[in-house]
Structure 1
């Protein structure tokens, strides 16, 4: 009959759990994750079309890819550790606002690439990242999308609305009324979404010269508008 002593009861099984740990496979996964992160970094820099480029955010994509791969490597061979990691990550809340939808795409790409690297699907993550990068480079840099503008006009007489509509419809390829509001002093303000002909902004002067128009402003428009 075997005797169970105090040491056996509290014996740690950490070393036993990590007996299948492979340094070579782990290093290979992290190196590939770093390479894929650099590729994501380069694609993001080449395809950025926002107002202010954030180098810090771009660097975080590399770290996110490697960190995700590291987590997957750690929890892949230990069920208890995986459950603890899920519980720990579930209480984390990220408060940084994501203004550009494309930033969410790059974050998701980094996480997926890290998961695949950590799981050992090296060929899949390489082929998938190349295809995703190719699609982003083609659609963002090569295919030009005509962005609309917002035309904000302030005037003090409702009688000139027909004149405004005539000038806008005659010199813009497409337009639609987004909002109309009454300002203090019986002034009116209308906002149009318009698409100009070959970036011709000369009709702004024609609108400004209409009697009763106080101001006419053209704004760049990314597709989101809140009245």
Structure 2
């Protein structure tokens, strides 16, 4: 019985000494934060270069850089103290983020920032740089492949007399009807059109049709709500 007790005491002491209170040198801390900063800066540049949404948010992009460094700091903190790591799990489980993410690609960049922070905080510097280079290259290639054309919303207000001419003009475009509202003699039609950059000569032709009130063209990211 005493031997068992002594063995348990030895095991507890070993656990406490080896895992409870670890130490990080100043060099390790600076290297981790520097690696996180470089990876976050790369994420910042790639996000700005590949963004194809309606309204670019500099604050969200800056958040990605800072998030990488904060995640690195959290990982370094919990790696030195097992009690803190268990407490951090409980603390983070009650955090709720209620900011709406409209573009699915924003979620990808957020996970990328968190993963880069985790790997740099764990001291896996080469993994952080290699992963950042590969992921950044993939995102740049996908952004070029996907956005050869640009999506727009075409909004036209016209009278019943111009309906046939509008229909003929839209047949020459790659368009999809999104909504059509009739108010007495005025029709509001919203269509999704896919255009090459600066290929908007059709708007002048539409505007010259008798019965057209106005023509509007707005770039958007594919999300449409009625």
TM-score, reference length from structure 1: 0.76
Q: 1:27 to 1:149 in 2, by over 3 A?
A: closer
Structure 2: give runs of 5+ residues left out of the alignment. 1-15
Q: Structure 1: how far apart are the matches of 2:143 and 2:217?
A: 24
1:211 and 2:196 are equivalent in the alignment: no
What are the within-5 Å matches in structure 2 for residues 108-123 of structure 1? 108-123=111-126
CA RMSD of aligned residues (A): 3.0
Quote the Cα distance in structure 2 between the aligned partners of 1:50 and 1:206: 28
Deviations 1:104-142 (A, max 9, x none): 322211100111112232222211111112223333368
Q: Does 1:22 align with 2:21?
A: no
Partner of 2:189: 190
2:134 to 131, 134, 141: 131
The structure-2 alpha-carbon separation of the partners of 1:76 and 1:203, relative to structure 1 and needing over 3 Å to count, comes to: same
- Counterpart Cα distance in 2 of 1:198 and 1:109: 30
TM-score normalised according to structure 2 size:
0.77
- Structure whose residues are more often helix by fraction: 2
Matches within 5 A, 1:1-227: 19-23=21-25, 24-50=27-53, 53-140=56-143, 144-157=147-160, 160-170=162-172, 172=173, 174-183=174-183, 185-196=184-195, 199-227=198-226
**Structure 1 residue 27 displacement after superposition:** 3.5
Shift, 1:221, TM fit: 2.9
- Structure 1 residue ranges without an equivalent (≥5): 1-13
- How far is the alpha carbon of 1:40 from its aligned partner? 2.0
